[in-house]
């Protein structure tokens, strides 16, 4: 029987350290824990995962529950969900947070159902009200509406958290935390889904979802050749390039660059949008962009209305103009 309040973060370390979502959630959990006198705990399953446990302590976890067993070498939704709900029943955390990676979004609903509790998907903010309830802020409708959701009666309060939402804490080598090792439960069912192959695809270094500056281009760029100019601009601005669907369909840039309902959601500090009309399937993914500069020949385009600064002009000319200005203005 545990009396202390605990906030749990399920550790999604696959593809670490490319994927930092667990560290980001630990940082937020630390803030929430202070409001509520709770203990921040990470929960790690896998084969030889001690190094990860240490990493989570250096990033804010005060306790780490570890189940380390060769049988857990491969990520398996069924087994991991079973372990997580078994532990949660035993230690009764107030809050259980999971990164909204694809795997995280697969395991979380299953754990929530096993624990008969609520789950809010893909949160873009988490807070705690005065009574200690977790306020889960989640977009719906492609980011055009935001809902605040609570889980009033059942515990744990569960949420998945969108990667890139919170800033991880700096690595602290001196941080100390307790590692609590648990054995594989004897009643663990044999997984019914068998993994025949699992291969890491070539990971890209930077990702458009987490870039501080994103340049998006639409059909208004005119042609594949002209679209490429945006890459030069991106180089100068230290930015990533995204695109609308017609651009991806026309193969001016790869599918990976698609921004919108069917593609990536971005959250840059500055967004430059060139020759984009602003269809809702595209703008749905822009709700978290902080400062928007839009360029369009048509002042009435929706994208221009959403912008902080709207330049009524030819997209290619403005792109070249900004490149010239930057070469001039960047101090070395």
Partner 1 sequence: MLHIIVCIKQVPMVSELPWDPKTGTLKRETAQGMMDPAARRALEAALQIKAKTDRDQVYITTVSMGPPMAEEILYEARALGADQGVLLTDPCMAGADTCMTANILGKFIRDHCPDAGLILCGSMSSDSETAQVGPQLAEELDIPAIGYARRLELDDHCIRVERHVDDFMELLEMDLPGLVTIDHAGESDLYTPRYVALAGVEAAFKTRDIRVMDRTALGLDNDFNALASSPTKIIEVYSPITRKENRVLTGAVKKMVDTLFDDYGKIISSAMGKDLKTHDHEGDA
- In the complex, which residues of this chain contact ligand FAD (CB under 6 A)? 218-220, 222, 244-247, 258-263, 275-277, 279, 281-282, 295-298, 301, 314-315
Least separation, in Å, of the C-beta of 277 and ligand FAD? 3
Nearer to ligand FAD, 288 or 314 (CB): 314
Least separation, in Å, of the C-beta of 278 and ligand FAD? 7
Phi and psi, residue 24, nearest 5°: -65, -40
User: What angle separates helix 50-58 from helix 21-36, to the nearest 10 degrees?
Assistant: 50
Residue 270 binds: one of ligand FAD, partner 1, none (C-beta under 5 to 8 A by kind): partner 1
Question: Nearest to residue 148, comparing CAs of 127, 130, 132?
Answer: 127
- Looking up tokens 């001039």 gives 328
Nearer to partner 1, 102 or 130 (CB): 102
Per-residue 3-state assignment (H helix, E strand, C coil) for 204-261? CCCCCCCCCEEEEECHHHCCHHHHCHHHHHHHHHCCEEEECHHHHHCCCCCHHHEECC
Least separation, in Å, of the C-beta of 172 and partner 1? 23
Least separation, in Å, of the C-beta of 300 and ligand FAD? 9
Do β-strands 134-140 and 125-128 pair in parallel, antiparallel, or remain unpaired?
A: antiparallel
Least separation, in Å, of the C-beta of 93 and partner 1? 16
Residue 219 binds: one of ligand FAD, partner 1, none (C-beta under 5 to 8 A by kind): ligand FAD
Least separation, in Å, of the C-beta of 228 and partner 1? 19
Rounded to an integer, what distance in angstroms lies between the CA atom of residue 253 and that of residue 16?
27
First to last CA, the chain: 60
Task: Give how far Cα 201 sits from Cα of 37, 204, 225, Å.
Answer: 41, 9, 29
C-beta atoms surrounding 262 within 10 Å:
14
Residue 230 binds: one of partner 1, ligand FAD, none (C-beta under 5 to 8 A by kind): none
Residue 301 binds: one of partner 1, ligand FAD, none (C-beta under 5 to 8 A by kind): ligand FAD
Residue 44 binds: one of partner 1, ligand FAD, none (C-beta under 5 to 8 A by kind): none
Q: Is 322 exposed, middle or buried (0-12, 13-18, 19+ CB in 10 A)?
A: buried
CA atoms within 13 A on the CB side of 231: 9
Nearer to ligand FAD, 313 or 325 (CB): 313
Nearer to partner 1, 30 or 52 (CB): 52
- Looking up tokens 């998945």 gives 160
Least separation, in Å, of the C-beta of 240 and ligand FAD? 15
C-alpha dihedral sign at 311, 314, 320, 325? negative
Nearer to partner 1, 6 or 117 (CB): 117
Residue 184 binds: one of ligand FAD, partner 1, none (C-beta under 5 to 8 A by kind): none
Least separation, in Å, of the C-beta of 116 and partner 1? 7
Nearer to ligand FAD, 95 or 301 (CB): 301
Residue 269 binds: one of ligand FAD, partner 1, none (C-beta under 5 to 8 A by kind): partner 1
List, in sequence order, every residue forming a beta bridge with 216; answer none if it has no partner: 242, 273
Nearer to partner 1, 31 or 279 (CB): 279
Residue 305 binds: one of ligand FAD, partner 1, none (C-beta under 5 to 8 A by kind): partner 1
Nearer to ligand FAD, 155 or 264 (CB): 264
């Amino acid at each position: 029987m545990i009396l202390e309040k605990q906030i749990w973060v399920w550790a999604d370390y696959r593809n670490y350290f490319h994927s930092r979502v667990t560290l980001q959630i630990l940082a937020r959990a630390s803030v929430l824990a202070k409001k509520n006198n709770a203990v921040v705990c990470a929960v790690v399953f896998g084969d030889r995962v001690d190094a990860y446990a240490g990493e989570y302590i250096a990033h804010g976890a005060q306790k780490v529950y570890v189940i380390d067993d060769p049988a857990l070498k491969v990520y398996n939704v069924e087994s991991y969900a079973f372990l997580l709900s078994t532990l949660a029943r035993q230690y009764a955390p107030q809050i259980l947070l999971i990164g909204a990676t694809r795997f995280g979004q697969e395991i979380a609903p299953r754990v929530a159902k096993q624990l008969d509790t609520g789950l809010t998907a893909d949160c873009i903010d988490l807070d705690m009200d005065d009574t200690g309830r977790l306020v889960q802020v989640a977009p719906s409708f492609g980011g055009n509406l935001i809902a605040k959701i609570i889980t009033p009666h059942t515990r744990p309060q569960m949420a998945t958290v969108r990667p890139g939402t919170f800033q991880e804490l700096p690595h602290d080598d001196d941080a100390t935390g307790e590692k609590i090792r648990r054995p594989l439960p004897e009643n663990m069912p044999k997984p019914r889904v068998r993994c025949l192959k699992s291969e890491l695809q070539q990971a890209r270094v930077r990702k458009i979802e987490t870039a501080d500056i994103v340049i998006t281009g639409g059909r208004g760029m005119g042609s594949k050749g002209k679209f490429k100019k945006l890459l030069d601009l991106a180089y100068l601005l230290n930015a990533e390039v995204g695109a609308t669907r017609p651009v991806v369909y026309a193969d001016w840039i790869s599918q990976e660059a698609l921004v919108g309902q069917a593609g990536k959601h971005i959250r840059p500090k500055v967004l430059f949008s060139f020759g984009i009309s602003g269809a809702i399937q595209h703008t749905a993914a822009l709700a978290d962009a902080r400062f928007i500069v839009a360029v369009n020949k048509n002042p009435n385009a929706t994208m221009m209305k959403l912008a902080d600064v709207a330049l009524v002009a030819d997209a290619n000319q403005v792109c070249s103009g900004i490149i010239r200005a930057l070469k001039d203005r960047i101090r070395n």
